[in-house]
């Protein structure tokens, strides 16, 4: 019986300008990360390509953001940032 290999659906490599739309770094930061050896790139003629596996590995290596202590929580347990922007009540003026 013939064995069927798993086929990846989607692109196998991305150009630098496509990374931002995928939640990755922008143009300047992408090249900075490539030069630092944090993000692996390959060349195809004049094109700089980031392989999909390397991009996924890069995103997975990014540190998670720890929740801040003392941030008000909403009913579902998520931080409620709306309270941070709530306007203060106007002060009552004292009559003279």
pLDDT tens across 6-27, in order? 455 688 999 999 998 988 999 9
Q: Note the pTM of the prediction, 2 decimals.
A: 0.58
* Closest among 25, 26, 34 to 62, alpha carbons compared: 25
Q: Is the pLDDT reported for residue 72 higher than 70?
A: no
Phi-psi label, residue 72: left if phi above 0, alpha if psi -120 to 50, beta otherwise: beta
CA–CA separation, 43 and 55 (whole Å): 15
Q: How many CB atoms lie within 10 A of CB 3?
A: 4
Which pLDDT score, from 0 to 100, does residue 34 have? 96
Q: Where are the domains of the chain?
A: 10-62
Higher-pLDDT residue of 74 and 28 is: 28
């Amino acid at each position: 019986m013939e064995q069927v290999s798993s086929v990846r659906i989607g692109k196998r490599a991305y150009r630098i300008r496509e990374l931002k739309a995928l939640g990755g770094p922008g143009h300047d930061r992408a090249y900075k990360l490539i030069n630092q050896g944090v993000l692996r790139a390959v060349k195809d003629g004049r094109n700089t390509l980031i392989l999909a596996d390397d991009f996924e590995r890069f995103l997975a290596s990014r540190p998670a953001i720890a929740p801040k202590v003392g941030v008000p929580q909403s009913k579902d347990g998520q931080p409620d940032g709306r309270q941070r922007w709530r306007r203060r009540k106007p002060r009552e003026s004292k009559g003279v």
